Chains A and B, each alone.
Chain A
Amino acid sequence: MTSPMQANTANTSPVIATEGLRKHFGTVEVLKGIDFSARDGEVISILGASGSGKSTFLRCLNLLEMPSAGRLHIFGEEVGLRAGKDRLRIANRRQVDRLRTQVAMVFQNFCLWSHMTVLENLMEAPVHVQGRSRAEIREEAEAMLARVGLTARRDAYPAQLSGGQQQRAAIARALVMKPRVLLFDEPTSALDPELVGEVLKVMRDLADEGRTMLIVTHEMAFARDVSSRILFLDQGQIGAEGTPQQLFGGGHNPRFDQFVSRFNQG
């Protein structure tokens, strides 16, 4: 439960905001100045052709990728960045580490820690980063595993799970930290087709709970049905932005229509 006070500030200041975010790799400019903001409770799908900069953008939001220029605000707090040789640098690691505990990320390749069991994966960050008590977190971790349907596999190692199970475990790992925002980078792209559904179902439930989510995906139907907003990235810029109804209705933006029609052709 959020207090009225928090709910109030959440409504006024964005959860995540960028101003003029740029990123280049060598001479290639991948993000060409992105102004973006996400508010509490929004579910934003980030769509775009391959190479349009979706992953790079998402990874800039928790500074796994360092932007070349621009500003980043998280929970209304400006993230300290200082100039470096060819990109910005983290000014204050502690600030970034603190913010990262509240901005969880789910990766395309799951990236569960392979030397730990599923349960240990869930407990790792809450215990060692957030310093919460083992007993308390163990209960929450078990509840979270029950929720994603992995209670029976809690003592298995990641290598012993299917892709879908690994991704559900990775989502549970993100959730036990009680993050205020969830970032997903193509969470179903590495999965066999028959395993995609089980992961999308978990994500749909999260969206229905009112969680704030930013999702890079190629699952058009999911984006249309679940998102409150679509962000279409086109060659490193925001090509179109709006509700699914506005964008998927057609005629709003020719580049987006082209993208969707090419997508539907396969």
Chain B
Amino acid sequence: MTPGTFELLGFGPQGWGFLLLKAAGTTIAAAICGFFLGSLFGLLGAALKLSSLLAPRMIGQFYTTIFRGVPEILIVYLLFFGGSVAVTQVMNLGGFPGFYSLPVFVIGVIAIGLVSGAYQTEAYRSAFLRLNRGQIEAGAACGMPRHLLLRRIIAPQTLRFALPALGNIWQSVLKETSLLSVIGLTELLRQAGTAAGSTRQPLLFYGIAAILFLIIGRMTGAALGGLERHLAKPWSR
């Protein structure tokens, strides 16, 4: 007696529904954490690349070249294997013998953060370059100190200009989380693989994973599109 499609995807004892939804939650969590960590790296990278000094500019260039030019999966492997080697060495030096590793979720978020940060660097940098210098001068001429200029004029406008590019990067980040299945994070793809293996229904479960990715991407895309339109209002006539 093999269970039907409906039971396989349901929430009953034979069903994978609950586990798949939980894995979708992990996918979304990893994507959100990775994206925001990437924003941090991106802002830092943009600041480096916009510096008037040569050394910071070169560091920024090095960062974006490496993390945009090397396959993401290699970076995931580097952090997974290299990370545990490094942590183990530190622990052993500190007098704690044995083998240690970081949680795969943390490794995955750092990997995604580093990669998306390289792309976000370009998004923030080009948005910053589109700022109108005169408006910043107008702020300075009103006696705004630098932190106020940054918070009230530069940051909001940079964010608005960067938003379309950030939306594209978000979609990439969402899909990149699937790479974390290779280091054992039970996100959507890995959970689908487990289900596919134990039920011998790969078409069904990878298909479901694909559909869930489409739905998540569509919904977040619509939300970001709405935000983008809302924030673009001041520039429309």
**Do these two chains really belong together in a complex?**
yes
Chain A positions near chain B (C-beta within 8 angstroms): 62, 64, 93-94, 96-101, 103-105, 107, 109, 111-117, 124-125, 128-129, 157-160, 170, 177
The residues of A that contact B135 with a CB separation of less than 8 Å are: 111-114
The residues of A that contact B203 with a CB separation of less than 8 Å are: none
Cα of A114 to Cα of B141 in the assembled complex, Å: 16
Residue of B nearest to A156 (CB): B234
Cα of A64 to Cα of B144 in the assembled complex, Å: 12
The residues of B that contact A128 with a CB separation of less than 8 Å are: 144, 148, 152
Interface centre among A62, A104, A111 (most CB of B within 10 A): A111
| CB-CB nearest 7 A-B residue pairs | A100-B143, A101-B143, A111-B134, A125-B142, A157-B234, A111-B138, A105-B141
The contact of B236 among A104, A112, A159, by CB within 8 Å, is A159
Interface of B is mostly: helix
With known contacts A101-B143, A128-B144, A177-B142, A160–B137 Cβ distance under 8 A? no
A-B contact count (CB 8 A): 75
The residues of A that contact B153 with a CB separation of less than 8 Å are: 113
The contact string, 1 if C-beta is below 8 Å from chain A, for chain B 127-168, is 000001011011111111110100011001100100000000
Cα of A101 to Cα of B152 in the assembled complex, Å: 16
Q: Are B132 and A114 in contact (CB under 8 A)?
A: yes
Cα of A128 to Cα of B153 in the assembled complex, Å: 12
Q: A79 to nearest B CB, angstroms?
A: 13
The residues of B that contact A107 with a CB separation of less than 8 Å are: 134, 137-138
Q: A102 to nearest B CB, angstroms?
A: 8
Chain B positions near chain A (C-beta within 8 angstroms): 132, 134-135, 137-146, 148, 152-153, 156-157, 160, 233-237
Q: A155 to nearest B CB, angstroms?
A: 11
The residues of B that contact A93 with a CB separation of less than 8 Å are: 145-146
The residues of B that contact A160 with a CB separation of less than 8 Å are: 237
Cα of A128 to Cα of B143 in the assembled complex, Å: 10
Residue of B nearest to A99 (CB): B143
A99-B143, A116-B234 known; 11 new pairs, CB 8 Å cut-off, are A97-B143, A100-B142, A101-B143, A105-B141, A107-B134, A114-B135, A115-B157, A115-B160, A157-B235, A159-B237, A160-B237
Q: Are B144 and A114 in contact (CB under 8 A)?
A: no
Cα of A263 to Cα of B157 in the assembled complex, Å: 40
Q: B235 to nearest A CB, angstroms?
A: 5
Q: Are B138 and A100 in contact (CB under 8 A)?
A: no
Q: Are A100 and B235 in contact (CB under 8 A)?
A: no
Q: Are B234 and A62 in contact (CB under 8 A)?
A: no
Cα of A104 to Cα of B141 in the assembled complex, Å: 7
Q: B158 to nearest A CB, angstroms?
A: 10
Q: Are A157 and B233 in contact (CB under 8 A)?
A: yes
Query: Can you report 30 residue pairs joining A to B where beta carbons are below 8 Å apart?
Result: A64-B140, A64-B141, A93-B146, A94-B145, A97-B145, A100-B142, A100-B143, A101-B142, A103-B141, A104-B142, A109-B134, A111-B134, A111-B137, A113-B139, A113-B157, A114-B135, A114-B157, A115-B156, A115-B160, A115-B234, A124-B152, A128-B144, A129-B143, A129-B144, A157-B233, A159-B234, A159-B235, A159-B236, A160-B237, A170-B138
Q: Are A62 and B233 in contact (CB under 8 A)?
A: no
Q: A256 to nearest B CB, angstroms?
A: 30
The residues of B that contact A157 with a CB separation of less than 8 Å are: 233-235
The residues of B that contact A96 with a CB separation of less than 8 Å are: 143
Q: Are A105 and B138 in contact (CB under 8 A)?
A: yes
Cα of A51 to Cα of B186 in the assembled complex, Å: 67
The residues of A that contact B138 with a CB separation of less than 8 Å are: 105, 107, 111-113, 170
The residues of B that contact A103 with a CB separation of less than 8 Å are: 141
The residues of A that contact B156 with a CB separation of less than 8 Å are: 115
Cα of A111 to Cα of B135 in the assembled complex, Å: 5
The residues of B that contact A112 with a CB separation of less than 8 Å are: 135, 138
Interface centre among B137, B143, B233 (most CB of A within 10 A): B143
Q: B204 to nearest A CB, angstroms?
A: 48
Q: A58 to nearest B CB, angstroms?
A: 11
Residue of A nearest to B152 (CB): A128
Cα of A93 to Cα of B146 in the assembled complex, Å: 9
Q: Are A111 and B234 in contact (CB under 8 A)?
A: no
The residues of B that contact A64 with a CB separation of less than 8 Å are: 137, 140-141
Cα of A100 to Cα of B146 in the assembled complex, Å: 13
Q: Are B141 and A97 in contact (CB under 8 A)?
A: no
